[in-house]
Amino acid sequence: MADSKLSDLTAVTTLGGDELVYVVDDPSGTPVDRKITATNLASALRSLASLVVGTNVQAWDADLDTLAAGGAGATSLLAALLNGTYEPLGVESPYLVVPVGVAYHSLAVGTHQTANRAFGMRFQIPVARSYRYARFNIGVQSGNIQVTVAKRTAGTLDQWTRVMDSTIIACPASGNVRLDLGATILAAGDYWLTFWADNTTVTYPRIDAGGAAGALGMAARLDSDVAGVGATGTWTTTGGGMMVGISLEATTP
């Protein structure tokens, strides 16, 4: 091996962790030949990535909380998200999905309309990506909720197949919520982000979406389903209400 060129060595396609990688330590000062295991190299690269994106991740979280709460900056933030100019991690906004219908909203906090009712907010994904967290705001904590992502059945507006699910859980505490739905790769397509509650005392930023959002097929409602949003189903009607500020966050790189 003493006289072998790197390009002449046999390639490996998998690593076990104990392999040795050649590195040059302090190349800008006093260069020294050194070695590092594949495991330690991977750990070092993760640390470097955290240094690069750490500050922006904090800004990302703050912006999502602003959107969910409907704060003073929510309108301008929403505009940036919808026109694709928001870049929280140096990447484009597909890492955050905001249903288009929430553009038609006030910032009022209200009670859930009817027990066992679900609202759907429609959105599109342009390219396949792994998504994981639902972000929203709870005003008054009460009862049980369910948050899901459902894929719209091709050729219809009112039918769906559920692809991500929080299951029915106790309503989170008041404030900004980041609910883990489990990392799931969503193919490009048309989806609904849904919110269900079993009571009329939970509050959150909401609107009766009987106007533009409903007419455009961007909002829908499921009535009187004590079992929540099922594996498949059909909306009772388009329009009828929506949760404002809810978003779906990707599994960040």
pLDDT digits (tens, 9 = 90+) for 36-86: 776 666 666 555 444 444 444 455 556 656 655 655 555 555 555 555 555
Amino acid at 178: R
Q: How does residue 229 score in pLDDT terms, banded at 50, 70 and 90?
A: very high
Least confident window among 15-19, 50-54, 126-130, 234-238:
50-54
Report the alpha-carbon angle 246-80-112, nearest 5. 20
Sign of CA dihedral 84, 59, 249, 174: negative
Distance CA(13)–CA(112), nearest Å, equals 54
Higher-scoring residue by pLDDT: 196, 101: 196
pTM over 0.75: no
* Nearby residues of 21 by Cβ (< 8 Å), 6 or more positions away: 35, 36, 37, 38, 41
| pLDDT on residue 241 | 76
Which parts of the chain fold into alpha helices (H)? 38-69, 74-83, 212-215
Q: What percent of the chain has pLDDT over 70?
A: 63
Distance CA(101)–CA(243), nearest Å, equals 10
* Nearby residues of 45 by Cβ (< 8 Å), 6 or more positions away: none
Q: Pick from 19-23, 127-131, 191-195 the range whose average pLDDT is largest.
A: 191-195
Domains parsed from the chain with CATH numbers: 95-250 (2.60.120)
| pLDDT on residue 210 | 52
